[in-house]
């Protein structure tokens, strides 16, 4: 199955809840094949989708073999913090937000576009790499930075 998280402001407010849809990859262009997580099951109606966690519109979610969990990485809105959450399944239950790192401050505004790059994982994800964007002094310019994140060993209870 292909899982897709949609986060943002569906009602024009400050709702940054992330909702989850899934589909067989062979049916990705067929709107009728999509199912949406409701909080207790799956529905064919997108309006029944429930928020599985609060995040940001640009994020990454990937399986982390080292933690034996899914890891969501995103920029915390209106800050320089890059956050992560974990869950045993794509629909959760998701942990609360954990600070992965404080990004290098931008020239103005906040950092954005934080995403993990699983293709560079070390030791099954014990260390993974996260990119983020930040503004630079020249008008209308920014740079992308890459940070190594080392996670704590999984607890015995997982």
User: Tens digits of per-residue pLDDT, 5-31?
Assistant: 998 765 556 667 899 999 999 999 999
Residues 93-134 have pLDDT tens digits of: 999 999 999 999 888 888 899 999 999 999 999 999 999 999
Say which residues have a Cβ less than 8 Å from residue 22's Cβ, sequence separation at least 6: 1, 2, 3, 4, 34, 35, 37, 42, 90
The pLDDT, as a whole number, for residue 10 is 56
Domain boundaries, the chain: 1-54, 55-158
The pLDDT, as a whole number, for residue 11 is 57
Q: Write down the pTM of the prediction.
A: 0.89
- The answer to whether residue 40 scores a pLDDT higher than 80 is yes
Mean confidence (pLDDT) of the chain: 91
Output phi, psi for 47, to 5 deg: -65, -15
The pLDDT, as a whole number, for residue 78 is 84
């Amino acid at each position: 199955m292909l899982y897709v998280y949609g986060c943002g402001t569906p009602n024009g407010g400050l709702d940054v809840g992330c909702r989850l849809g899934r589909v067989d990859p062979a049916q990705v262009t067929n709107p009728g094949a999509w199912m949406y997580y409701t909080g207790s099951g799956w529905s064919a109606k997108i309006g029944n989708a429930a928020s599985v966690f609060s995040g940001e519109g640009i994020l990454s979610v990937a399986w982390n073999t080292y933690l034996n969990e899914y890891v969501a990485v995103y920029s915390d809105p209106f800050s320089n913090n890059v956050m992560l959450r974990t869950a045993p399944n794509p629909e959760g239950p998701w942990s609360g937000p954990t600070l992965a790192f404080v990004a290098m401050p931008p020239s103005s505004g906040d950092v954005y576009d934080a995403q993990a790059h699983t293709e560079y994982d070390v030791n099954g994800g014990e260390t993974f790499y996260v990119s983020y964007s930040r503004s630079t002094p020249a008008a209308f310019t920014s740079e992308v930075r890459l940070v190594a994140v080392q996670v704590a060993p999984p607890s015995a209870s997982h």
